[in-house]
Every structure is written in structure tokens, then in C-alpha cells.
């Protein structure tokens, strides 16, 4: 009997939860999603629990897969832009800009200075809008509803401007190869300036309301801790990486567009409320990035020049044969486009490297030993958009 007991203890069906051994067959399997409101999109997480303790979490992806990369092989280079819009549909301007930069670099296209300023300003407004969405929905995840309404009130001003510029509120097709589709007026620039002042004051209040709230801190501090080594091992990027104290931002470290002309800081987690790299640190980084985006937008407003908003691009675009990899710093991390061209009118291959796909891969590592409620907090802090994960 002793031998049987020893074999049982070393069996692969036994897992360690805290100080206890648990048989896998004794675990309860639950599905979080694919419609669960705490998963920020159509994600299914299969979780195995021992009472309230999570033993295992397996993300199941693909519910929003729509063959985006395959479609691109049959579209001309301009026709791809509406498809990249639909990846991270909360940061469509950022998706477009990265793609446009990829084609422009292959063509050697010179983008007019005014268009460069507009692109940068729009990208930072999009970052603010995206982080406001995170702020509001994360508060809902953890039981607070009012912050969601405040965040959406400010986000609406950004979307209204985007609608005037592009004709759409979510999927814009605004950043074109060679520049931007539509110029921005002096009246709209004045509204952006006023928005920056208001947003700066409001964000301080919002942070007091949520980030310094005792209950919120209790739910996020020391929860879902991602160490620096773990962040490197999983190739994390964006606020999730910076939340672990790693100062890496492509706008600073590998500048594109005209970011090298602007003065701004790269916020990183500091473990102010708990352990470095916890959920609160990831929240903190995004809040601070809103203030830095406002700083960049103000510099754009001060330096924007008169002139054209579209460079010289032929009506029928044929990219020279070759390949390129271009990456940009989107609200959720590094977005990469790997383009292979055979010299024709359509991409031979366009591979997209999704920051959210990489970031969500760490969930199975973080989940074991957490409470179910803490897993909700952890998923929310990663801030994934499944349109970009699945493509």
C-alpha cells in the first residue's frame, strides 16, 4: 500500500495549490466566456478551480478570426487599410498608421510635414481614447460603474472629432499611404487644445476616484504580479511591459514619424501600492501615459505647419519586390507589420504581429493560485482587444 501511495503522490494528475496537493479530477471546470463581460471581447478562458482558487487557466482564441491576413493577399495596397482598422477597433488610427508607414518605407514616399503633425496628434488622441476605455471598463470589472460614465463622456469628444475628420466613429480609413485623407481645421485644432486642458484636470480627479480608492487598491495591489524576467520571457510589450518597471517605448527608443522631435517621458511601474508589476502598476502606467499624450499633443499644436496633407503617391501602387518589418507603439503594445512584396499590386504576404496576442499568452502563468475574482482583475489589467488577437 505504501508503494501505491508513493506512486499516487508522483502522479501527473496531482497538482500543488498553496501547501496542498489536489487531484486534477477533484477540480471544477468553468468557462469564463466567450460572452463574459469581464473578458474585454469574445474570449473564452477555461478555468479549473479548487473552490475559489484557480488551478489552471487556458485561453481559447479565435472567436473573432476573419482571415484578415489572407484577405490582404487579394486586395490592392490601399484596399488593405479598412481591414487593419478592424484589428484593434479601439485604436484604429494606430493600426492604420503602422501599415501606412510600412508601405511608405518600401516606396520611399515623403510624407508632408503637416500630415506628420496630424498623424502624431491623432495617434495620441487615439491613445487617450483607448486608455479611457480601459479606465472605465476596468472599474466595471471590479465593481464600480460611475467611472465608466465619466470616461466615456471625455472619450466622446475625441470620437466626435474623428467622425468629423473621417466620417466614422470607430473604423476610420483616415491615415492613407502618403499622408491623411482630410485636413484638420483651425477650429478643430482649438477644440483639441481646449480638450487637453479639460482632460488633464479630469484625469487627476479620475485617478483620485479610482486609482487611490482603498477598495480598488485592495483589489489590484499585489495581484497578477509580472516580474521583469517573466515579462522578458513572454515577450510582453506596451503598458504591460512598462508596468513591470521596464522602460521601453518605441516612440522613444526606435522613433518613427516625428516622435524624435518631441519631449515626453515613458512612465513605468514603481510598486507604489504593492509589488512591482502588479495590476495596480499596469493601471498606473496607462493613467500616466494619458498625461504624456497630452504633452505630445500640445507640442503638435505649437509646431503644426501649413501645407499639403498628402504626398505624391501614384494612383496604382506597386511596391518594389522585397520585404520589410515595421513596428509602432500602439496603446496596447508593439504592433508589427511584416510585408513581403513580389512587385505586384497586392501584398504577396502581410503578417501582423499582435501585441495583445503576445500579452494574453501570460495568463496560464499568472492564474494558478489566484482567486477567481483576482483572475478577472488580472485579465482586465492586460487590456486585450480580441479583434487584434484573432485577426
Element at 256 (helix H, strand E): none
3-state SS assignment for residue 214: helix
Does residue 40 form part of some domain? no
Q: What residue has cell string 479610482? A: 210
- Residue 336 φ/ψ region, left for φ over 0, alpha for ψ in the -120 to 50 degree band, beta for the rest: beta
Q: Which of 308, 255, 261, 329 is nearest to 109 (CA)?
A: 308
Q: What is the DSSP string of 139-168?
A: HHHTT--HHHHHHHHHHHHHHHHHHHHHS-
Does residue 60 form part of some domain? no
The beta-strand segments (E) located in 259-321 are none
What is the total count of domains within the chain? 1
Residues 6+ apart with CB under 8 A from 190: none
Does residue 271 form part of some domain? yes
Q: How far is CA 146 from CA 209, 218, 381, in A?
A: 10, 19, 19
Handedness of CA 330, 254, 121, 183 (dihedral sign): negative
When computed from its CA atoms, the radius of gyration of the chain, rounded to whole angstroms, is 22
Domain containing 133 equals 68-390
| Paired strand residues for 22 | 15
Does residue 341 form part of some domain? yes
Please report the pLDDT score of residue 40 as a whole number.
Answer: 64
CATH code at position 242? 1.10.645.10
Count of H helices and E strands in the chain?
Answer: 16, 10
Integer Cα distance of 91 and 80 in angstroms = 16
Does residue 277 form part of some domain? yes
Dmax (CA) of the chain: 86
Integer Cα distance of 128 and 202 in angstroms = 12
Contact 125, 192 (CB under 8 A): yes
Does residue 24 form part of some domain? no
DSSP 175: E
Burial track 209-230 (b if 16+ CB lie within 10 A, e otherwise): bbbebeebbebbbebbbbeeee
| Least trusted range by pLDDT, from 1-5, 48-52, 117-121, 132-136 | 1-5
| Paired strand residues for 46 | 31, 58
- Per residue in 217-275, pLDDT tens? 999 999 989 999 999 999 999 999 999 999 999 999 999 999 999 999 999 999 898 89
Does residue 61 form part of some domain? no
Please report the pLDDT score of residue 218 as a whole number.
Answer: 92
Integer Cα distance of 231 and 241 in angstroms = 6
- Per residue in 327-363, pLDDT tens? 999 999 999 999 999 988 999 999 999 998 899 999 9
210 pLDDT band (50/70/90 cuts)? Answer: very high
Does residue 62 form part of some domain? no
Q: What pTM was computed for the model? A: 0.90
| Paired strand residues for 31 | 46
Q: What residue has cell string 479611457? A: 132
Q: Which residue has the higher pLDDT, 101 or 43?
A: 101
Amino acid at each position: 500500500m505504501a508503494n501505491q501511495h508513493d506512486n499516487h503522490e508522483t502522479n501527473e494528475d496531482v497538482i500543488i495549490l498553496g501547501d496542498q496537493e489536489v487531484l486534477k479530477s477533484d477540480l471544477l471546470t468553468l468557462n469564463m466566456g466567450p460572452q463574459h463581460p469581464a473578458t474585454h471581447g469574445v474570449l473564452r478562458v477555461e478555468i479549473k478551480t479548487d473552490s475559489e482558487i484557480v488551478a489552471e487557466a487556458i485561453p481559447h482564441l479565435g472567436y473573432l478570426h476573419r482571415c484578415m491576413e489572407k484577405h490582404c493577399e487579394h486586395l490592392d495596397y490601399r484596399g488593405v487599410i479598412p481591414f487593419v482598422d478592424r484589428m484593434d477597433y479601439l485604436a484604429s488610427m494606430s493600426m492604420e498608421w503602422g501599415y501606412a508607414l510600412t508601405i511608405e518605407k518600401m516606396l520611399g514616399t515623403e510624407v508632408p510635414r503637416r500630415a506628420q503633425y496630424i498623424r502624431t496628434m491623432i495617434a495620441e488622441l487615439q491613445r487617450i481614447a483607448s486608455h479611457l476605455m480601459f479606465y472605465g471598463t476596468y472599474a466595471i470589472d471590479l465593481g464600480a460603474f460611475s467611472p465608466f460614465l465619466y470616461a466615456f463622456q471625455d472619450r466622446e469628444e475625441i470620437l466626435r472629432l474623428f467622425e468629423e475628420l473621417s466620417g466614422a466613429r470607430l473604423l476610420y480609413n483616415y491615415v492613407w499611404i502618403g499622408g491623411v485623407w482630410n485636413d484638420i481645421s483651425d477650429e478643430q485644432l482649438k477644440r483639441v487644445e481646449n480638450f487637453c486642458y479639460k482632460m488633464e484636470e479630469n484625469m487627476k480627479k479620475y485617478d483620485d476616484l479610482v486609482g487611490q480608492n482603498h477598495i480598488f487598491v485592495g483589489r489590484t495591489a499585489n495581484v497578477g504580479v509580472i516580474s521583469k524576467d517573466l515579462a522578458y520571457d513572454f515577450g510582453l510589450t506596451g503598458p504591460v511591459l512598462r508596468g513591470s518597471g521596464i522602460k521601453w517605448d518605441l516612440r522613444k527608443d526606435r522613433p518613427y514619424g516625428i516622435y524624435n522631435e518631441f519631449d515626453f517621458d515613458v512612465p513605468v511601474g514603481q510598486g507604489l501600492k504593492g509589488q512591482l508589476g502588479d495590476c495596480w502598476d499596469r493601471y498606473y502606467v496607462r493613467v500616466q501615459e494619458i498625461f504624456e499624450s497630452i504633452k505630445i499633443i500640445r507640442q503638435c499644436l505649437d509646431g503644426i505647419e501649413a501645407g499639403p496633407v498628402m504626398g505624391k503617391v501614384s494612383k496604382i501602387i506597386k511596391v518594389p519586390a522585397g520585404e520589410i518589418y515595421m513596428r509602432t507603439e500602439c496603446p496596447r503594445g508593439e504592433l508589427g507589420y511584416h510585408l513581403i512584396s513580389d512587385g505586384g499590386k497586392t501584398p504577396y504576404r502581410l503578417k501582423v504581429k499582435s501585441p495583445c496576442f503576445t500579452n494574453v499568452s501570460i495568463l496560464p502563468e499568472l492564474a494558478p493560485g489566484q482567486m477567481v475574482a483576482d483572475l478577472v482583475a488580472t485579465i482586465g489589467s492586460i487590456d486585450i482587444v480580441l479583434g487584434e488577437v484573432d485577426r
